[in-house]
Amino acid sequence: MSTKHLIGIDIGGTTVKIAFITYDGVIMEKWEIPTNKSDEAQNVVPDIAISIRDKQKEKGYQHDDFAAIGVGAPGFIDVDSGMIHEAVNVGWKNYHLSEELKQASGYKVWVENDANLAALGENWKGSGDRANHMIAVTLGTGVGGGIIANGQLLHGANGTVAEIGHMTVETEKPLPCNCGKSGCLETVTSATAISKLAKIAIEEGKKTSLAHTLKETEDITAKDVFEASTNGDQVAEDILAYVIEHLGRAIANLAIALNPSKIVIGGGVSKAGDQLLIPLRAVFDRYALTRTSHAAEIVMASLGNDAGVMGAAYFAKEEL
């Protein structure tokens, strides 16, 4: 076993999460820096390299105490070259992230999609429990995913594997998606979508306590909708039933194709816990093959915001 540590990085549209992680998966230090998107995000990599050096100096680490860097980034990524074809939330297009960070940091660097690495992190040290066959679904601002088959993270032919959020699921009343299509899973099951569905219901004149929430706070969150449903608000209940119906059916179809033993649900929406998990399981069972359903355990993610950096570190470990 290596005595050197790993560096895990999770680049988001607002912040960059960085962690020093032992070879066997214990977080030693973790922190965040702002994602500097000015000048076409050309300062993100220098900021990361400087932050790593500053933290190493602050904590008394040497450069050679670390073996490599793993990075999760949003968007479409060529894993072999480490190039970001497009990361809309950051501002990169055809950007050679691995090479740029290697030059700036002095470490070997491997890059993967952030949702894929969150799945890898959950499988290594979280709810995936090192399953050989796992589907991860992240329900946040958008909907992401990751797939592990035969113990290996799937990358796909050109870096677009497990773009679960862009499966077409709604054809009767499709809402436009940021990807350019309409009716994507992301448009009906993300935190953003749940908020939007509530606002549409209010605009249509439906009687709901969420109208008061919107008036008081000038916004509605997914959490507000779950709370309203708990309090017996029929509109909120209908919205969640619609959301969970589409989510459960989509996951069931994925499971029929992949036959996982674990399905891990993460992201902000997963904080609803059993209020989401119990009806989701019922919908899943209704659409999945019986044998597929018997094999699959559906669980909530457990690493929270650490999943990305943990998966990034593990990815680098496996590539070394």
Three-state secondary structure string covering 74-103: CCEEECCCCEEEEECCCCEEEEEHHHHHHH
Better pLDDT: 89 or 315: 315
For the cut 70, the answer to whether the pLDDT of residue 115 exceeds it is yes
Residue 227 · residue 276 · CB < 8 Å: no
For the cut 70, the answer to whether the pLDDT of residue 2 exceeds it is no
Query: What is the pLDDT, as a whole number, of residue 86?
Result: 87
φ, ψ at 266 (rounded to 5°) = -130, -170
Q: What's the rounded Cα separation, in Å, for the pair 214 and 222?
A: 12
**Strand-pair partners of 20:** 7, 29
**Can you list the domains of the chain with their CATH numbers?**
5-121+306-319 (3.30.420.40), 127-301 (3.30.420.40)
User: Over the stretch 292-320, which tens digit does the pLDDT of each residue have?
Assistant: 999 999 999 999 999 999 999 999 999 99
For the cut 80, the answer to whether the pLDDT of residue 57 exceeds it is yes
Query: What is the pLDDT, as a whole number, of residue 87?
Result: 87
Q: Predicted confidence band at 208 (pLDDT cuts at 50, 70, 90)?
A: very high
User: Over the stretch 27-47, which tens digit does the pLDDT of each residue have?
Assistant: 999 999 999 999 989 999 999
Q: What's the rounded Cα separation, in Å, for the pair 284 and 247?
A: 8
Q: State pTM to two decimals.
A: 0.91
Q: Predicted confidence band at 203 (pLDDT cuts at 50, 70, 90)?
A: very high
